[in-house]
Amino acid sequence: MRNPFETEERKAFRETVRRFVETEITPYADDWDEAGEVPWELHAKLGALGAFGFGVDEKYGGLGFDDCFMRAAFSEEFYKCGATGIPAATGGRSISIGPIEKFAPDEIKDRVLEDIVTGRKGSSLGITEPGGGSDVANMKTVARKDGDDWVINGSKTFITGGMKSEYFVVGARTGGEGLTGISLFFVEADMPGFSRTLIDRKMGWWASDTATLYFDDVRVPARNMLGQENFGFIAIMNNFNYERLGMVAGSVGMMKACLEDSIAWAQERHTFGKPLIKHQVIRHKIADMSAKIDATEAYLNQICWLANEGEMPVAEVSKAKFFATKALEFCASEAMQILGGAGYLRGNRVERIYREVKVMAIGGGSEEIMRDLAVRQMGL
């Protein structure tokens, strides 16, 4: 569908990302997925493309501008590789760059931000805890003031890129119970008291490492607090918006991959004397998938326009996230059905995408929590 917000610049950016994904990622996607990691050079290659630089000053290796449409185009094209552990492994840093860029003092930014943004070093966001991820306001990790330092105790789990990252943005309780007692901290992996273990054998996102982090009296200087004391919850919620939009755009890419592979297979495969594509039931599946893709894409474009206008529509972002992941679940299932037994074999995009539907529906705010948030935003 033609995008009314398309410009020459956005089109060129999308083309660059598409070519990069087609040549530098898709041919290796299955191998990296099976190997459970991507080569570190890929981080730097993506950094050179500007993948992690939206909204970041050029002096830190950023693009010096932001554009929600370009962010969305990047995620959509990247997720088409159909092994979305690859964007998770490399792009996991994106959800921690915002708080560092916005809240860290110059001393920290000057020392670490360029390395993160250009892909030389990794960073991760640590919010979810073993006791729960949805109820962020109830987090148990604590930071206690001791002289000029803060001392952090607790643990975080399901942290994307957590085994390889040097830097972390971590939520911890600095005040009373509930959402008004949380602050964000910048933590470095070589700080005494920090340790981590790998969460192995996931359903999907094989190419991305996922970690549990432990904080055992981790002492950080006061300047490592990101933003205002006890105002971390708001920062976490604001940070979720671009993460969720990235997942909506990624879902569009995954759905398009499902549709493309379904059409290609349905044209080639013959049953009962004609190509699959000539059977009405299959044609209807294709029509349903295509309609869901159009609807999600149009919704995303409208949200991107609002975000660019400075009016990030939180309710719509939440609704778009669960709308997109439900549409993705449908498309992955129908694509698998069209491919039949061939789809069930390892080594094809549809099989990988089918395994990765659930992380899209749970990570970054589950479908249930997204519905709750949307209705709360409606004032109900």
Output the smallest distance, CB 342 to ligand FAD, in A.
Answer: 27
**Which residue, 103, 114, 147, 155, is CA-closest to 131?**
155
Is the CA virtual torsion 275, 280, 283, 285 positive or negative? negative
Residues 206-265 that bind ligand FAD (CB under 6 A): 210
Work out the burial of residue 209: count CB atoms within 10 Å of its CB; fewer than 13 is exposed, 13-18 middle, 19 or more buried: buried
Output the smallest distance, CB 156 to ligand FAD, in A.
Answer: 6
Token digits for 144?
């206690």
Token digits for 92?
């996991």
Q: Does 79 bind ligand FAD (CB under 6 A)?
A: no
Q: Does 158 bind ligand FAD (CB under 6 A)?
A: yes
Q: Does 359 bind ligand FAD (CB under 6 A)?
A: yes
- CB closest to ligand FAD, residue no: 133
When the beta carbons of 116 and 276 are compared against ligand FAD, the nearer one is 116
Q: Does 127 bind ligand FAD (CB under 6 A)?
A: yes
Angle at 151 between CA 145 and CA 152, to 5 degrees: 125
225 phi, psi to nearest 5 deg: -75, 130
When the beta carbons of 51 and 369 are compared against ligand FAD, the nearer one is 369
> What single-letter amino acid sits at 272?
F
Output the smallest distance, CB 158 to ligand FAD, in A.
Answer: 4
Distance, in Å, from the CA atom of 138 to the CA atom of 263, rounded to the nearest integer, reads 46
Output the smallest distance, CB 16 to ligand FAD, in A.
Answer: 27
Angle at 159 between CA 300 and CA 238, to 5 degrees: 40
When the beta carbons of 306 and 315 are compared against ligand FAD, the nearer one is 315
Find the binder of ligand FAD among 133, 232, 246, 250 (CB under 6 A).
133
Which parts of this chain interact with ligand FAD (CB under 6 A)? 92, 124-128, 132-134, 158-160, 202, 205, 210, 359, 362-366, 368-369
